[in-house]
Amino acid sequence: MAMTITPMEIHDKVFPIVKNGYSAEAVDEFLDQIIDDYADVLDRNVDLKNENYKLKKQIRDASSDNTQIRQHMVEVQEQARQIVNQARVTAQQIIDDAKDKSDSMLADTQKQLVQQQNMLEQYNTLMNDYELLKTEVANFIHDTKAKLNEQVKELDDKDWQIYLDKHYGRTRLYPADGSQPIKTDDSDNLIDEEGLIKPEDIDKYQEYIPAENFDEDIDNNTDTEVNSDNEKEDTHKILEGDNPTVVETVEDENSNSDSLSRPKIIFPDDYKDHN
C-alpha cells in the first residue's frame, strides 16, 4: 500500500519555476487550503478508525456476551426444564400421597363409623335389655311384695286356726274381736242344747262358728287356702315352713299324753301355698 502523503509534505513541496507558469502566490494559497482540508480529512479518518475499532470491539464483546447469554439461556432453560420436571414429579407424589392419606383416613373414618354404629346398636340393645330387666325386676318385686303381703295377711288371718281345729276334730268358739278361741269346755254357757251359739251372744261370735258346725262343702277360694275336706292322717305330719331346714312334726291323736300336754306351736305351712 502506497504511503499516504502528509500535509507537511504538501506544504514543503517545491515546484520548479518555468516561464509562463502558474502564479506562485495563487498556487501556495491553494496548497495551503488543500493542506488544511487534507489535515481535517486525516484527522477525521483517524477518528473514524478509532470509532470503528471501538465498535468492532463492542461487537466482539457483544458477540461474546451474546454467546454467553445464549449459553446462559440454554443453562437456564435446562434448569427450568429440570425444575418443571421435578415440580411435576413432586406434585404427582404429593397428589398420590394426599390420595393415599385421604383414602386411609376415609377407610379409618368408615371403620370408626361402623364401630360407633355397632356400639350404638349395642348401647340401644343394652338399654332395651336394661329397661326390660328393670320392668321384670319391678314386676318381680311387685309380685313378690304382693305374695309376701298375701302370706303375711294369711299368717295374720285367724281362719287357719279354724281349719286346724276342723282337721284335728276340735270344737271351739272364735270371737269376732279376734281374741283367743274358747274351748268347748269353757263355752257351755254360750252354746245351747243343739250345739249352736245362744241368740244373746250371736253378735259376739257371728263371725266364727264352732268347728263341728262347719259345712263340709267349704272349700278354699284361692290356691293358698286349705280345703276343708282334708282328711286327718294317722302318721306324723311334717310341716315345712319358708325355711326348708326347719322341720316341725305334728303327732297324731294316738301319741302319748305327755307329748299332747306339752305346748306346741303349729305352723299352717303344710296347708298354705307360699310359692
Instruction: Specify whether 166 is located in the same domain as 248.
Output: yes
Residue 171: inside a domain, yes or no?
yes
Q: pTM for this structure?
A: 0.32
Q: pLDDT tens digit string along 18-32?
A: 777 777 788 888 888
How far apart CA 205 and CA 181 sit, in angstroms, is: 10
7-21, 47-61, 161-175, 253-267: range with lowest mean pLDDT: 253-267
Q: Which has the higher per-residue pLDDT, 179 or 221?
A: 179
Instruction: Specify whether 176 is located in the same domain as 265.
Output: yes
pLDDT of residue 244: 42
Mean pLDDT of 247-252: 41
**Closest-CA residue to 194 (of 215, 182, 170, 210):** 210
DSSP state of 216: T
End residue of a domain, out of 156, 189, 205: 156
pLDDT of residue 32: 85
Instruction: Specify whether 203 is located in the same domain as 234.
Output: yes
Residue 165: inside a domain, yes or no?
yes
Instruction: Specify whether 164 is located in the same domain as 195.
Output: yes
pLDDT of residue 111: 93
Instruction: Specify whether 133 is located in the same domain as 219.
Output: no
Domain count, the chain: 2
**Structural domain for 102, as ranges:** 89-156
Has residue 162 got a pLDDT over 90? no
Helical ranges in 185-248 per DSSP H = 202-205
Has residue 133 got a pLDDT over 50? yes
Has residue 189 got a pLDDT over 60? no
Residues 190 and 208 sit within 8 Å (Cβ to Cβ)? no
Instruction: Specify whether 133 is located in the same domain as 168.
Output: no
Contacts 24+ apart (CB under 8 A), 251-256: 253/168, 253/169
Has residue 255 got a pLDDT over 50? no
Mean pLDDT of 25-47: 86
First-last CA distance in the chain: 152
Element of type H or E holding 96: helix 24-156
Computed over every residue of the chain, the mean pLDDT equals 71
Has residue 254 got a pLDDT over 90? no
pLDDT of residue 235: 42
End residue of a domain, out of 103, 131, 156: 156
Instruction: Specify whether 169 is located in the same domain as 261.
Output: yes
Mean pLDDT of 233-253: 41
75-89, 131-145, 172-186, 214-228: range with lowest mean pLDDT: 214-228
* pLDDT interval class at 86 (50, 70, 90): very high
